[in-house]
Structure 1
């Protein structure tokens, strides 16, 4: 039901009352013939889902949502004219059809944000408190300063992006340098190949000279053969003459002297001939050997010519590739020169950026100091602002109060890790004892305060101690009936200074939407809390939607959320919860059973974790 109550409910015509919820119809629908009964749309849908699909009256005809027809406009107008009273501001005689306009635009108790919300002011409250807050809002007073600070942070982000771009360009320049070095290495290899080809050409030239010498030797050999033939002809002539002399014995004596002379000459010629024969034989052997060597040289020359031809072709190809590489090298040299110029400009720009960045870092450091001081001042101002509320809960003559039994109970705890004060009836008198003994002296890591009598005053004192505590990791304050003001104190403490608390359990405290909004704003800032328990409270879809959006967009550390046994959570929040589960990467556990969720809503939740690994979703089983 919306946040209103009916004026003189007993006088409302009973024909306008739903038989299921016993309240005037909301979105009335009529059942088909023959029953033709009228019910609220949600009432009849819930009845059909949870019980049966048969008609509620005759229990005969099977029904579905398509069988439900809207009631007549006359009945809707009558219902819209019913007078209601706003539960927030107590304004009376509001027509029910105008209540939405009242709660959104006119109600002085409607929830609004501070006008300085754009510069991170976390305040939310009633509309009638807005002017008082704005007049004292420290964020509004510091608007110019905070706006300049936000702009400086944005500029710093831009400078960081520019530095990343510079690094990318520098990497690209290094790649170009490596490519140029590779081309130079290939060029060096080609030059070595060209030098080897020049060596082959020199060897070829030497071989050609040897071939020329062989040709000259062949010419000399041919001359010697001609001379030998001539010598043989002379010997033959001498032999013919001797034969002729023998035949002519008569003339023998006459020519005996000549014959002797000729014999001597013949002997000399014979000796010379033998020598020539030996020389000729030696020359022939040498010629044969030279011919063999010549054939080998010819084969070697042919092979050299083939190799030379291949080398010439390779040289042509290498020359073409070398020309191409030279052109590419020239292009890269030009590009390198251009990159060097750009790199020098970027270096100058980077030096200027680094100088500006250093200046901004120094300014940010100064701003952080100022922000810390302003935060302290804000805390003091808020303490003064809410001091009348706190004063109403203060205990007179508190300095003389003692609770020896409580101190002994805490001291007897077996370990300093856990201090369990469940059901110890702790009240405003005892909170200082708990802080001094459990948090300061024992430095416990887990503090359990279930089933006690804590008020907003106790929570304010405990919250102040959390600002300086560095050991407490788990805080459980369940079943204490905490007010929204108490939740506000706790949320503000965990929004700023505390950096150790990892688990916060606030179950069964009757926390309302306003309290959850305070806690959600805390989760926007807190980067330590990983477990958040809020089961069995009085939160509705409105604050659940806000919490889901905060977890989806603003929190990156939360791992476990418990919302079970919150009877006012319905299918209206399902889409927001589904988006939160799908888009938040840190969330691993979500418990939401025993709420007013339909089977379709539960099915949507189960489908939302299909792409998640080891995600723990706890809800009732689907029928």
Structure 2
């Protein structure tokens, strides 16, 4: 409000009550550590461009070092007499000017008291009463007020119903997901119970193969059309009883539920070093189950997940696993649906602490957008020695750039 008043006798005001920056009487005065006083807004603006007191130029000052001026100074400057420029009323104490301007000044522009009812009138305060005598909004206030209150109440109820609807929708989605999960578990338990029924034989070929396997050995169960129902038996016989070090389950019919069972088994397994699951149907959830399990697993060194319909969004769970796992050395993710964004997410996870030595992303959907992320990964990661990127969408220029990058890294193999 300072611009709307003028001092009655400014020349008589003691210079000790004036700010040396703006030359006006103090407004909201504050003092520096060297006991010089200024308007708060003036000294703050000064400090933004200078670090020395504008009065003595000796001591450095900061905004944090400013302190409130003694109360007596506030009282003196607030009692200075001013004249309102709008209505020309004189002898108003400066400390009372805001109240005068906001409540009493006849020339201050104000809004109609029915502005809450959408009256758009604005004018000098001394014209307000004349307007109110003809203001249709104010005349209809009792009716319009009730209508406004009713509308507000209805809007609140509509909002409540919308919130309840969203809550019910979320609850339904949650129940549907839970129902689908329970159905999978029921089907799995049915299959498991069938396998345990002495009147029903296990897969004869599977039993025959496992009967010939030795403890702590390599177990090859690829290309046998094994499905989710075979997984509990495999876990029990291969991982628990025989404690094999290598398990090959490539090119079977294992889906998400089977991946979940294998992931649960990996959490406590301490013998399996290589697991091949290429050519199955992991999809997003299957990868998430495995990635979560490998965060705590400290044995597995090689994981093969080629051709598993793995989407780009699986990169988030894989990246989280790569940051926290300290055992995995080889990760094969070829011939899935991973794009450049997913590659960037995983590349950012492969920092200098990573143990990964081989990474295969051949046959995915990568393009030149991920080259910067690959560059950083190759430079930062000290363990990674082989990177397979062939059969992607990299341009000739992109491939050439990558080759220049890896040429500077001794012993590094890049297949593009």
For each residue in 1:23-43, what CA deviation from the matched residue of structure 2 results, as whole angstroms up to 9, or x when unmatched? Answer: xxxxxxxxxxxxxxxxxxxxx
8 Å Cα contact 1:505/1:533 also seen in 2? yes
Over residues 213-241 of structure 1, what are the superposed CA-to-partner deviations in whole Å (9 max), with x where a residue is unaligned? xxxxxxxxxxxxxxxxxxxxxxxxxxxxx
Following superposition, the deviation at residue 596 of structure 1 comes to: 0.9
CA contact (8 A) 2:362 2:391 kept: yes
Distance in 2 (CA, whole Å) between partners of 1:561 and 1:528 is 14
Question: For each residue in 1:180-238, what CA deviation from the matched residue of structure 2 results, as whole angstroms up to 9, or x when unmatched?
Answer: xxxxxxxxxxxxxxxxxxxxxxxxxxxxxxxxxxxxxxxxxxxxxxxxxxxxxxxxxxx
What runs of 5+ residues in structure 2 fail to find an aligned partner?
1-165, 196-201
Query: Which residue, 386, 396, 407 being the options, matches 1:610?
Result: 407
- Map of 1:282-293 to 2, 5 A cutoff? none
Q: Does structure 2 retain, via aligned residues, the 8 Å contact 1:407–1:433?
A: no
Structure 1 residues 408 and 598, CA, compared in 2 at 3 Å: closer, same or farther? same
- Give the match for residue 457 of structure 1: 257
Matched residue, 2:309: 510
- Contact map agreement 2:305 2:333 (CA 8 A) in 1: yes
Q: CA deviation at 1:443?
A: 1.2
- Secondary structure at the aligned position of 1:467 is classed as helix
Cα deviation code 1:34-72 (max 9, x no counterpart)? xxxxxxxxxxxxxxxxxxxxxxxxxxxxxxxxxxxxxxx
Taking structure 2 as the reference length, the TM-score comes to 0.54
Aligned to 2:182: 388
Q: What are the within-5 Å matches in structure 2 for residues 8-19 of structure 1?
A: none
TM superposition shift of 1:419: 0.7
Say whether 1:448 aligns with 2:248: yes
Structure with greater Cα Rg = 1
Question: 1:470 — aligned with what?
Answer: 270
- How far off is 1:576 after superposition? 0.9
Contact 1:393-1:457 at 8 Å conserved across structures: no
- 1:605 to 1:408, Cα distance in 2 relative to 1, 3 A: same
Q: Cα deviation per residue 1:277-310 (whole Å; 9 max; x = unaligned)?
A: xxxxxxxxxxxxxxxxxxxxxxxxxxxxxxxxxx
Equivalent residue pairs, number: 240
Contact 1:407 1:437 in 2 (8 A): no
Question: What residue number does 1:407 align with?
Answer: 207
**C-alpha displacement at 1:518, in angstroms?**
1.4
Partner of 2:292: 492
2:234 to 404, 426, 434: 434
Inter-CA distance 397–428: structure 2 relative to 1 (3 Å threshold): closer
In structure 2, C-alpha distance between the alignment counterparts of 1:617 and 1:454, rounded to whole Å: 31
Give the distance between the partners of 1:397 and 1:438, measured in 2 at CA. Answer: 18
If asked which structure has higher relative contact order (CA below 8 Å, sep 6+), I would say: 2
How far apart, CA to CA, are the structure 2 residues paired with 1:534 and 1:400? 34
Which residue does 1:12 correspond to in 2?
none
1:580 aligns with 2:377: yes
Rounded Cα–Cα distance in structure 1 between residues aligned with 2:276 and 2:185: 26
Q: Aligned pair 1:600/2:397, yes or no?
A: yes
Q: 1:397 Cα deviation (Å)? A: 5.6
Q: What is residue 225 of structure 2 aligned with on the other side?
A: 425
- CA deviations on 1:590-618 (whole Å, 9 max, x unpaired) are 11111111111111111112331211111
Could you tell me how far apart the structure 1 residues matched to 2:334 and 2:369 are? 18
Per-residue deviation, 1:394 = 2.6
What does residue range 210-359 of structure 1 map to in structure 2 within 5 Å? none
Query: Secondary structure of the equivalent of 2:268?
Result: coil
Equivalent-residue separation in structure 1 for 2:354 and 2:179 (angstroms): 33
Q: Which has the larger helix fraction?
A: 1
Q: How much has 1:560 moved relative to structure 2?
A: 0.8
Q: Distance in 2 between matches of 1:499 and 1:444?
A: 15
Q: How does 1:60-71 map to 2 (within 5 A)?
A: none
Residue 347 of structure 2, aligned match among 524, 536, 548: 548
Q: Which residue of 1 is the match for residue 45 of structure 2?
A: none
Q: Secondary structure at the match of 1:436?
A: helix
Q: CA RMSD in A?
A: 2.6
The 8 Å contact of residues 214 and 242 in structure 2, kept in 1 or not, is answered as: no
- Say which SS state the counterpart of residue 524 (structure 1) adopts: helix
Gaps of 5+ in 1: 1-127, 137-382
- State the distance in 2 between where 1:385 and 1:517 align: 26
Which residue of 2 is the match for residue 93 of structure 1? none
Separation (CA, whole Å) in 1 of partners of 2:374 and 2:343: 8
How far 1:524 moved relative to its partner?
A: 1.2
SS of match in other structure, 1:552: coil
Normalising by structure 1, report the TM-score. Answer: 0.36
1:341 matched to which residue of 2? none
